[in-house]
């Protein structure tokens, strides 16, 4: 489903070229759940941004479902991201002026669905994740775990093919972390392809395949 072939990516900092990824190779099968670990600054978030089409690579190829995205322009990548990718972040940027169901419905409204239809689908998504009781809550009253569930609902509302999770449990307590991880495993069991960036080995252990980034390259760990 996803193939990164000899990918390199550099950034400029104060006139210096800093290489983050170098001859990076990774294959992700449809329905796979993988973890990416590595030190701070190793390129984990850069990797997610490349997969999402937010960052262009310098060298190599990025293939998604047999389509080469390396040569696509910003407009084409924006469509790809909107239709294929769902993001789960450590601190999900919910909008304080909207309640839970309105936050979850937003991606559909950006896609030009009517407000009525978007709210109908958001209601269904909240029910699917067993959080209908949060529907009319203000987001500033949510606990960390509740906010993360709402963020997951918003990431899933357009039924993306791939979920990219950047430290999805990094700000949660141990019990809430387990609940969120169980939810992610459940979504994977339903067929969602999932890429999880984490510094936490207990999170990585939940994944069927484990990788780490060292010196800009991808190293495969032991499979579960």
How is residue 147 written in tokens? 């906010």
Residues 206, 182 contacting (CB under 8 angstroms): no
> What is the number of other CB atoms lying within 10 angstroms of the CB of residue 83?
12
Residue 138 DSSP symbol: B
What does the pLDDT profile of the chain (224 residues) look like in tens digits?
A: 999 999 999 998 877 888 999 999 999 999 999 999 988 888 999 999 999 999 999 999 999 999 999 989 999 999 999 889 998 887 767 898 999 999 999 989 887 788 899 999 999 999 988 999 999 999 999 988 898 889 999 999 999 999 999 988 877 888 888 888 888 998 899 899 999 999 888 889 989 899 999 999 999 876 55
Q: What is the pLDDT of residue 223?
A: 53
Beta-strand relationship, 193-197 and 162-166: parallel
61 bridge partner residues: 5
Question: CA-to-CA distance for 214 and 98, rounded, in angstroms?
Answer: 41
* pLDDT tens for each residue of 54-113: 999 999 999 999 999 998 999 999 999 988 999 888 776 789 899 999 999 998 988 778
pTM of the full structure:
0.88
With the CA atoms of 151, 42, 182 and 136 taken in that order, what torsion angle do they form, in degrees rounded to the nearest 10? -10
Question: CA-to-CA distance for 134 and 127, rounded, in angstroms?
Answer: 10
């Amino acid at each position: 489903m996803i193939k990164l072939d000899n990918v390199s990516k550099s950034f400029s900092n104060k006139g210096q070229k800093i290489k983050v990824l170098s001859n990076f190779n990774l294959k992700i099968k449809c329905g796979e759940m993988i973890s990416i670990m590595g030190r701070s600054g190793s390129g984990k978030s850069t990797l997610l941004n490349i997969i999402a089409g937010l960052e262009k690579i310098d060298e190599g190829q990025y293939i998604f479902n047999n389509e080469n995205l390396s040569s696509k322009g910003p407009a084409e990548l924006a469509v790809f991201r909107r239709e294929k990718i769902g993001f789960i972040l450590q601190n999900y940027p919910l909008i304080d002026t909207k309640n839970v169901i309105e936050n979850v419905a937003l991606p559909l409204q950006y896609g030009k669905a009517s407000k009525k239809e978007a709210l109908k689908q958001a209601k269904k998504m909240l029910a699917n994740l067993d959080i209908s009781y949060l529907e009319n809550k203000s987001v500033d009253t949510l606990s960390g775990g509740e906010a993360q569930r709402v963020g997951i609902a918003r990431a899933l509302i357009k039924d993306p093919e791939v979920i990219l999770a950047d430290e999805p449990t990094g700000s949660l307590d141990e019990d809430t972390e387990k609940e969120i991880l169980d939810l992610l495993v459940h979504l994977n069991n339903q067929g969602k392809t999932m890429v999880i960036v984490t510094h936490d080995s207990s999170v990585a252990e939940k994944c069927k395949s484990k990788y780490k980034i060292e010196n800009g390259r991808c190293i495969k760990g032991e499979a579960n």
